[in-house]
């Protein structure tokens, strides 16, 4: 075997709260409306890890912090003289190194998440819809594309790049890779809190409408359903719910059909 699975002599704590609420908003012979609401607050904390500093987890875990953190450089903006991304030199030795300068902690654990589901029935018609929400951080869209100046697609925002001394731009100077300072700053940017931003969202996760067709000897239900139809977010990236690169995010899906019960 090339690797061995082993338990770590570490202690961590899980805690949280989950609330659910169901309400019958309207009830009658022909019209019914009910709502289900849930919200979850979940947290983890690393309490103990003997010899953490000498382990392979020294740059990924911190005593007293959640498990889903990233130790990153602190991004301070674009150097208006050189046009490259700047980062905080924590130990002020004039060099940027992961061990000494990746001291900023970004927690990617959602602050909370949940959903609101409604069901409305009117005679033989039924409408169901679910809104999903989360307050969280995630890697933003700047981490999805190649270095501006090289051959490859870019976001439209990349046009706001440093051009000359004194420019206050969002993106650093373009380079094809020959500018070693710009290239190094580009890759450090993805290891900084500059590449992490708010990814909170509200999403219409599911919606369906159905009709019970009156038949004498069997039950027949006609339905139309949709998934991931609308997303409300200020997140600048592909999808706020999805945290992995190289894979498809949740897809918009439509389906329709007839359901028979004999």
The tens digit of pLDDT for each residue in 37-50 reads 999 999 999 999 99
More confident residue, 205 or 250: 205
Q: Which two tokens mark 175?
A: 């380079």
Q: Taking all residues of the chain, what is their mean pLDDT, rounded to a whole number? A: 91
pLDDT of residue 108: 92
Q: What is the pTM of this model?
A: 0.85
Which one is predicted more confidently, 118 or 262? 118
The 10s digit of each residue's pLDDT in 62-80 is 999 999 999 999 999 999 8
Contact 33, 26 (CB under 8 A): yes
Residue 53 has pLDDT above 80, yes or no: yes
Instruction: List beta partners, residue 134.
Output: 113, 201
Tell me the per-residue pLDDT of 164-199, one tens digit each, with 9 for 90 and over.
Answer: 988 888 899 999 989 999 999 999 999 999 999 999
Both structure tokens of 255: 């389906």
Q: Which two tokens stand for residue 126?
A: 């039924």
Whether residue 245 is predicted with pLDDT greater than 80 in this model: the reply is no
Provide the CA 212 distance to its chain's centre, in angstroms: 39
DSSP state of 73: B
Nearest one of 114, 87, 85 to 98, comparing CA atoms: 87
173-200 per-residue burial string, b: 16 or more CB within 10 A, e: under 16? bbbeeebeebbebbebbebbbbbbbebb
């Amino acid at each position: 075997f090339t690797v061995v699975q082993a338990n770590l002599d570490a202690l961590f704590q899980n805690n949280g709260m989950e609330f659910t609420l169901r309400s019958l908003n309207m009830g009658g012979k022909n019209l019914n409306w009910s709502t289900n609401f849930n919200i979850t607050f979940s947290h983890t904390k690393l309490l103990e890890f003997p010899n953490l500093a000498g382990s392979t987890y020294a740059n990924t875990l911190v005593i007293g912090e959640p498990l889903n953190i990233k130790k990153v450089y602190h991004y301070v903006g674009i150097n208006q003289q050189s046009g490259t991304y700047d980062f905080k030199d924590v130990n002020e030795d004039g060099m940027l190194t992961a061990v000494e300068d990746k001291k900023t902690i970004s927690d990617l654990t959602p602050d909370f998440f949940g959903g609101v589901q409604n069901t409305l029935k009117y005679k033989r018609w039924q409408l169901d819809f679910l809104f999903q929400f989360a307050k969280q951080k995630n890697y933003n869209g700047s981490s999805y594309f190649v270095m501006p100046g090289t051959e490859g697609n870019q976001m439209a925002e990349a046009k706001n790049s440093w051009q000359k001394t004194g420019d206050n731009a969002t993106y650093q100077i373009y380079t094809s890779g020959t500018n070693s300072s710009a290239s190094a700053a580009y890759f450090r940017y993805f290891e900084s809190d500059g590449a992490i931003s708010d990814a909170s969202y509200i999403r219409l996760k599911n919606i369906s409408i159905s009709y019970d067709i009156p038949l004498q000897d069997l039950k027949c239900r006609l339905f139309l359903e949709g998934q991931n139809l609308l997303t409300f977010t200020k997140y600048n990236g592909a999808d706020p719910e999805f945290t992995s690169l190289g894979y498809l995010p949740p897809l918009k899906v439509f389906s329709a059909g007839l359901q028979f019960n004999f």
